[in-house]
Amino acid sequence: MTPEPAAGLLPRLLGRFQHLLRELGKFGVVGGLAFLVDLAVFNLLLGPMGWLAATVTSMTIAATAAFLGNRYWTWRDRESSSLTREYALYFFFNAVGLGITLAVLWFSHDVLGGAWPEVFQTRLADNVAKSLIGNAFATVFRFWAYRRFVFNGPRVELPQPAAAQASAR
């Protein structure tokens, strides 16, 4: 057996994982828009409500928007067993993601902030802990959970526009 040239490896890997990369891209766009909603609502409510209530409220609003984007765009090619089931599981896994984000924010604000309040108990530190670090860990978990448990129906063939059908011939 002769070793396969490395030049052919990348196109084969891209072809093999093309569908997953497309899902990741769509999930990223939906997540990016939900992130902006979350960030805006969190900062709007941070002063009047405090960090805990502002986080729960902003993430609930953003999660609702993300559910719609993921169900009807990211995983629209997956058969839906029940919208109620998907919605319930989606929000369960969002609650776990919220717990991950809250744990990171709590650790930063209260634990590290107890030692260095001038650094870790600031608006900037709360935003970095919640919106960057906490959301990063929670996003990896949510992508895995949504794909594995929520939108896990078999793929269905979606109708293609006439231009795409003509080019396929």
Torsion of CA 106, 104, 61, 53, to 10 degrees: 0
**Average pLDDT of the residues of the chain:** 86
- Residue percentage of the chain with pLDDT more than 90: 54
Please report how the helices 135-145 and 83-106 are oriented relative to each other, as an axis angle in degrees rounded to 10: 160
* Confidence check: pLDDT of 7 > 80: no
Tell me what pLDDT residue 14 has.
Answer: 74
Sorting pLDDT into bands at 50, 70 and 90, what band is 166? Answer: low
End-to-end CA distance of the chain: 37
d(CA 62, CA 52): 15
* Confidence check: pLDDT of 129 > 90: yes
The predicted-structure confidence for 81-91, as pLDDT tens digits, reads as follows 788 899 899 98
- Read off the tokens for 22: 């497309």
The SS3 call for residue 155 is strand
* Confidence check: pLDDT of 1 > 80: no
C-alpha R_g of the chain: 20
* Confidence check: pLDDT of 2 > 70: no
Q: Around Cβ 83, how many Cβ atoms within 10 Å?
A: 10
- Read off the tokens for 1: 């057996």
Q: Which of 60, 72, 59, 62 is nearest to 26 (CA)?
A: 72
| Mean pLDDT on 92-102 | 92
